[in-house]
């Protein structure tokens, strides 16, 4: 096994099984890597003994030719997804001592496929944030450059893959929380179509936006994870009953006859010139593979961030009303009445960004403002989705930057929430429209920081994105 970078499942499958590359050996190396770079703070909990026991078991199974889809695939899980018997903190003080009573559907599926879950990853509290700095156990560092943020909110999941703490990971994406950290850390991050992956067992932030998806070193591994976790689930009434394709089978390198749209609103002056240059190179490369490019327009782009923050904070204020100190979670010691218990438990338990969003959401839903804000934003959401549906009549997918900049400095945007929100400018529209999108690495800037580019697909067409991503990766140099 490589000691430093991008060990993929194909590397694992292609090597001759012996003692040096047993699953046990791989897991031990990951555990050692985690120990060596503890300062990255990627995990809320590491399952040392359990992953070693599972690795030994997998080695036995493999010896008896009992190979499942993800046997030996070592995966880390954002600590906002339930694993039975394990702590589920959402990186929040309010859930510090909470233990999950059941497996999320994605976890059950990973376990059934014999994946090895190595630990739970740090994140912005309740997945609210774009830098990984809003965690009750402290910020996560970017493994590529420790003075920079790893991105957020799935900060630890991105860092874990980038630092070679695991082969892949699960994150969640409400407005870019998989794609933006994938871009900042130089790895692949896929946000599936809304409804593609069951949310059963995922702690809700904004229910009509949230989606679980994979991080990996390459799109083939992302495809492998997606194929396992995707599919209809009767336990999530918003999950779609649409067959899951065999993604790898169709990642055959053939991009002829594909037409990709370049939304002009995503290439304006606010885009960092180095990122722009990197995208131009990628376009030239894809043209050489037979892809056609056309400029398209998504005229409502400037309204995406306002609509997003109204709708997601409204949903959050409602979803987070359940944390009241009564049945689970933190209860304030200084509470003599029920009302005090509610107010004090919530005020002590939530961090500032979560409070800010609950306040904004409560405001936009409050009497007299509902129509002006919430309903208005829902109407704008329709227009934003229509922009995409219109351009998809003419193109197969879209290519855009993932973020306007590469990874920014730790502490750079913590004082100004609005500026932090604007770092998601290229990612939130996808969640408003419910589309799938992938961020793939596309070289580095002059400071040696990874650049991410985003491909946005039609509803339930993750396949096309993965196919293009795969071809791009094979030509990274």
Partner 1 sequence: MSVTIKEVEHIAKLAKLSFNKDEMDLFTKQLNEILNYVEKLNKLDTTNVEPLSQVIELANVFRGDTVGKTISTKEALKNSPSQMEPYFKVPKVIN
Please state at what angle helix 273-288 crosses helix 462-473, rounded to 10 degrees: 100
By the rule CB under 8 A, 356 interacts with partner 1: yes
Q: Are 153 and 169 in contact (CB under 8 A)?
A: no
Burial class (CB in 10 A: 0-12, 13-18, 19+), 404: middle
Q: Are 352 and 342 in contact (CB under 8 A)?
A: no
Which is the catalytic residue, given 29, 78, 139, 413?
78
Query: Site map for partner 1, 173-202, x if CB under 8 A?
Result: --------------------xxx-------
Complex with partner 1: residue 356 or 444, whichever CB lies closer:
356
Beta-bridge partner residues of 197:
230
Complex with partner 1: residue 358 or 399, whichever CB lies closer:
358
Complex with partner 1: residue 283 or 341, whichever CB lies closer:
341
Number of residues that bind partner 1 (CB under 8 A): 70
* Residue of 5, 60, 97, 288 that binds partner 1 (CB under 8 A): 97
* Residue of 373, 392, 408, 426 that binds partner 1 (CB under 8 A): 373
By the rule CB under 8 A, 459 interacts with partner 1: yes
CA 137 to CA 96: how far, in whole Å?
10
* Residue of 138, 234, 253, 290 that binds partner 1 (CB under 8 A): 234
Which is the catalytic residue, given 177, 239, 423, 439?
177
Which is the catalytic residue, given 51, 153, 157, 239?
153
78 is catalytic: yes
H or E element in which residue 211 lies = none
**DSSP 8-state secondary structure symbol assigned to residue 137:** T
CA 387 to CA 300: how far, in whole Å?
7
- Give the nearest distance from C-beta 408 to partner 1 in angstroms: 19
182-209 in b/e form (b: 16+ CB < 10 A) is bbbbbbbbbbbbbbbbbbbbbbbbbebb
Complex with partner 1: residue 35 or 419, whichever CB lies closer:
419
Sorted by sequence, the CB contacts under 8 Å of residue 386 that are 6+ apart come out as: none
96 is catalytic: no
Complex with partner 1: residue 289 or 331, whichever CB lies closer:
331
Beta-bridge partner residues of 440:
453
Please state at what angle helix 352-365 crosses helix 304-319, rounded to 10 degrees: 100
Residues 134-153 that bind partner 1 (CB under 8 A): none
Q: Residue 146: helix, strand or coil by DSSP?
A: coil
* Residue of 68, 69, 328, 414 that binds partner 1 (CB under 8 A): 328
For the annotated catalytic residues, the residue numbers are 78, 153, 177
Residue ranges that bind partner 1, judged by CB under 8 A: 97-99, 101-102, 193-195, 208, 234, 237-238, 240, 300, 302-303, 305-307, 309-310, 317, 321, 324-331, 335-344, 346-347, 350, 355-356, 358-360, 362-363, 366, 373, 375-383, 385, 417-418, 421, 432-434, 459
């Amino acid at each position: 096994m490589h000691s430093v970078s991008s060990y993929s499942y194909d590397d694992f499958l292609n090597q001759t099984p012996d003692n040096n590359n047993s699953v046990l050996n791989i897991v031990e190396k990951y555990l050692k890597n985690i120990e060596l770079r503890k300062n990255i703070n990627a995990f809320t909990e590491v399952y040392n003994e359990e992953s070693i026991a599972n690795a030994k078991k997998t080695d036995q199974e493999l010896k008896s030719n009992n190979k499942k889809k993800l046997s030996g695939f070592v995966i880390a899980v954002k600590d906002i997804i339930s694993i039975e018997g394990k702590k589920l903190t959402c990186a929040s003080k309010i859930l510090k001592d909470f233990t999950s009573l059941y497996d999320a559907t994605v976890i059950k599926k990973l376990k059934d496929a014999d994946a090895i879950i190595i630990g739970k990853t740090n994140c912005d509290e309740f997945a609210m944030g774009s830098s990984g700095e809003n965690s009750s156990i402290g910020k996560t560092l970017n493994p590529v450059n420790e003075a920079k943020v790893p991105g957020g909110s799935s900060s630890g999941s991105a860092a874990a893959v980038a630092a070679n703490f695991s082969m892949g990971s699960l994150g969640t994406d409400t407005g870019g929380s998989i794609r933006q950290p994938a871009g900042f850390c130089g790895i692949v991050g896929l946000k599936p179509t809304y409804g593609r992956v069951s949310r059963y067992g995922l702690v809700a932030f904004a229910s009509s936006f949230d989606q679980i998806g994979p991080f990996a070193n390459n799109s083939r591994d992302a495809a492998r994870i997606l194929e396992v976790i995707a599919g209809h689930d009767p336990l999530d009434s918003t999950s779609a009953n649409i067959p899951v394709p065999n993604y790898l089978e169709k990642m055959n390198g053939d991009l002829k006859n594909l037409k990709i749209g370049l939304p002009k609103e995503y290439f304006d002056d606010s885009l960092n010139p180095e990122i722009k240059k990197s995208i131009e190179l990628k376009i030239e490369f894809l043209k050489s593979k037979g892809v056609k490019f056309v400029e398209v327009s998504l005229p409502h782009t400037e309204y995406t961030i306002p609509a997003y923050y109204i709708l997601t904070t409204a949903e959050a204020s409602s979803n987070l009303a359940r944390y009241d100190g009564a049945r689970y979670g933190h209860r304030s010691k200084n509470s003599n009445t029920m009302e005090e218990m509610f107010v004090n438990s919530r005020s002590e338990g939530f961090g500032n960004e979560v409070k800010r969003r609950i306040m904004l959401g409560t405001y936009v839903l409050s009497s007299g403002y509902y129509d002006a804000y919430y309903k208005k934003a829902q109407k704008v959401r329709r227009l934003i989705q229509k922009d995409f549906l219109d351009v998809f009549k003419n193109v197969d997918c879209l290519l855009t930057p993932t973020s306007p900049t590469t990874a920014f400095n730790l502490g750079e945007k913590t004082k100004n929430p609005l500026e932090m929100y604007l770092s998601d400018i290229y990612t939130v529209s996808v969640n408003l429209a419910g589309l799938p999108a992938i961020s793939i690495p596309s070289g580095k800037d002059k400071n040696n920081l990874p650049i991410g580019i985003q491909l946005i697909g039609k509803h339930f067409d993750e396949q096309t994105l993965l196919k293009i991503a795969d071809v791009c990766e094979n030509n990274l140099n």
